Amino acid sequence: MSNPLLEIRDVTLGIGRTGPKIVKGANLAIAPGEIVGIVGESGSGKTMLGRAVLGLSPAPISMTAGEIYFKGAAYSGMSEPEMRALRGAGVTMVFQEPMTSLNPAMRIGRQLEEGLELHGNIGRKERKARMLDMLRRVGIADGERALAAYPHEFSGGMRQRIMIASAMLMRPALLVADEPTTALDAVTQRDVMDLLVDLTREFGTAVILISHDLPMVARYCSRIVVMQTGEIVEMGETAELLGAPKHDYTRKLLASLPMRASARALPETRPIVSVEKLKVDFAARSGLFGRGGVKHAVRDVSLDIRPGEVLAVVGGSGSGKTTLARVIAGLTGHQGGHVLFNGHGIRPGSAGYDDYRRNCQMVFQDPFSSLDPRMKVGALIAEGLQALHDVPSSEHAARVEKALESVALNASFASRFPHELSGGQRQRVAIARALIRRPSFVIADEAVSALDVTVRAQILKLLADLQSQFGFACLFITHDLSVVEQIADRVVVMHEGRIVEEGSRDEILDRPRHDYTRRLLSAIPVLDTTPAGGVELRWRTELGQGAKAFAD
């Protein structure tokens, strides 16, 4: 590159002078206006590299070797006031959590204005005009009202738009975006990214996009940098890197992208779970004395799940999908309609209640809170057997060992506490606990959303394997359509408490009829494998009709 905007040369970041290295000898140059993605899993050092570009390495971490140049000027030669002048006007950052990166006690207007006051002499009127203009550009129509509002008055997506507005107000030459959309649902995620890319292109701002989400990075970046345990293992033009990956780790990342499994034929049988005209309302309190408004979480939902089938329920946040799962699991009551399990009601005392409790199990979203922190793994898993009185307690240890083996953990894990395990291992334990009874029906509520990409792929594969081995039916709740591609037989799409579309997986993914489904689908790529062992991504357009409508 002849005249790079930013140059990272042999940068090593370590804890203290002699401690462990977080980033090892990174080299990267970024041209003006270029969008570069850095991908890697948690612990790969991508976030710390991004922080170093801002000259903001957190306390014990510092640059122990190498140099960063911004427009040819070395960071090490800059004084603290010069660094401050560089941040904001030259380099700026958008963080992952819009809730914590905006000050909850300050009005939006004050927070936006702060940066303008610090950098450059602009009059009060001019400042306000600029802020209103920027808010309009990020899609906030009523700018006056927004300036007077507090952060909590906005949704996650809106807050992230405000963060982007605040970063772009300075018209920086470089924007570091660290997982800017991870906390948002798929559709909002895409809207926010589109906005970020359009806006930076307009101002000629270069972007370093840090994310674990490879397809998302591939969609917006011209070049991709792959990091693993502190090292840059591969770097290249997007299409080239994806199509013909050279490094093993890149191949592993690509292999963990969800590929569509072939469709299965299931026999027509009596449904194991059938939900009819289900209605769930929540009392929505407002104010001190709460003039009881009602929120309709689930409205007139009917669906059947057949034995051995994997049914995915997809929707954004607030679509009612989790409430539906909780009603079927018996954790939440309902106001109308009914749920039948093997033809019987699921309320305590009904004829088939024992059969229902024995055969309906659940895997929760957050493996950090679904395991009692005071119990060892062995005891946690054995608990599933204790409520059954037909398994003698002398057999418990052997059954626990077998259950651990089935989720690919060795027997020594039985004597560990949950906090000693990684997220993926915990989720395996939660699965073992649910499966030790050999249930005929399992509910998985966002069971893989909290996990890293490669771990997510492993757990999904484990679930799919166990499902075909034990043949249980599964209700899979997710906001992520790419997960659906991998394991679902049938898909139900929920929006605002209702089912808007239902069909076989291939029908929904290839021939979506409802607008909402199309919007969901436009956020995930279609993957084609290339002869060189990589993948090619294609994106569906939101407005497209029928199966073969793809964007270029």
Q: Which residues pair with 94 in a beta bridge?
A: 177
- Residue 425 or 517: the one with the smaller Cβ distance to other proteins is 425
Residues 213, 123: Cα–Cα separation, whole Å: 41
- CB closer to other proteins out of 140 and 329: 329
> Cβ 209 to other proteins, closest distance in Å?
30
20 is a contact residue toward other proteins (CB under 8 A): no
Residue 42 is a binding residue for other proteins (CB under 8 A):
no
| Residue 454 C-alpha from the chain's centroid | 13
What span, in angstroms and rounded, lies between the C-alpha atoms of 523 and 314? Answer: 13
Q: Which stretch binds other proteins (CB under 8 A): 179-187, 294-302, 356-364, 449-457?
A: 356-364
Q: Which of 51, 212, 321, 433 binds other proteins (CB under 8 A)?
A: 433
DSSP class of 540: B
Q: Candidates 237-245, 299-307, 362-370, 518-526 — which segment interacts with other proteins by CB under 8 A?
A: 362-370
First vs last C-alpha separation in the chain:
28
**Stretch binding other proteins (CB under 8 A), from 56-64, 324-332, 403-411, 528-536:** 324-332
Helix (H, G, I), strand (E, B) or coil at 196: helix
Least distance (Å) from other proteins to the CB of residue 329? 6
* Part of the chain binding other proteins (CB under 8 A), chosen from 135-143, 147-155, 284-292, 354-362: 354-362
Stretch that binds other proteins, among 81-89, 182-190, 306-314, 360-368 (CB under 8 A): 360-368
Q: Does 43 bind other proteins (CB under 8 A)?
A: no
Distance of closest approach, residue 41 Cβ to other proteins, in angstroms:
17
Interface residue with other proteins, options 360, 404, 450, 537 (CB under 8 A) = 360
Closest by Cα among 550, 21, 527, 551 to 253: 527
Distance of CA 297 to the CA centre of its chain: 23
Residue in this structure with the two tokens 């009202």, named with its chain if needed: 145
The reply to whether 475 sits near other proteins by the rule CB under 8 A is no
Stretch that binds other proteins, among 33-41, 195-203, 355-363, 542-550 (CB under 8 A): 355-363
Q: Between residues 383 and 401, which has the closer beta carbon with respect to other proteins?
A: 383
- Quick one: which of 493, 475, 445 has its CA closest to 272? 475
Of residues 371-430, which lie at the interface with other proteins (CB under 8 A)?
371-374, 383-384, 386-387, 417, 419-421, 430
Residue whose structure tokens are 């490669």: 454
How far is residue 226 from each of residues 40, 249, 284, measured CA to CA in Å?
Answer: 6, 8, 46
Residue 147 interacts with other proteins (CB under 8 A): yes or no? no
Asked if residue 351 binds other proteins (CB under 8 A), the reply is no
Is residue 195 within 8 Å of 139, Cβ to Cβ? Answer: yes
Pick the binder of other proteins from 42, 369, 469, 545 (CB under 8 A).
369
Residue 358 within binding range of other proteins, rule CB under 8 A:
yes
Calculate the alpha carbon distances from 161 to 99, 134, 202, 538, 539 in Å: 12, 10, 16, 26, 23
**E strands of 71-160, at which residues?**
73-74, 91-94
Q: Kindly state the tokens that stand for 236.
A: 């290249």
Residue 173 near residue 207, CB atoms below 8 Å:
no
CB-wise, 150 or 417, nearer to other proteins?
417
Among 304, 366, 510, 536, binds other proteins (CB under 8 A): 366
Amino acid in position 372: D
Residue 370's SS3 state is: coil
Can you give the binding site for other proteins, defined by CB under 8 A? 329-331, 354, 357-358, 360-362, 364-366, 369-374, 383-384, 386-387, 417, 419-421, 430, 433
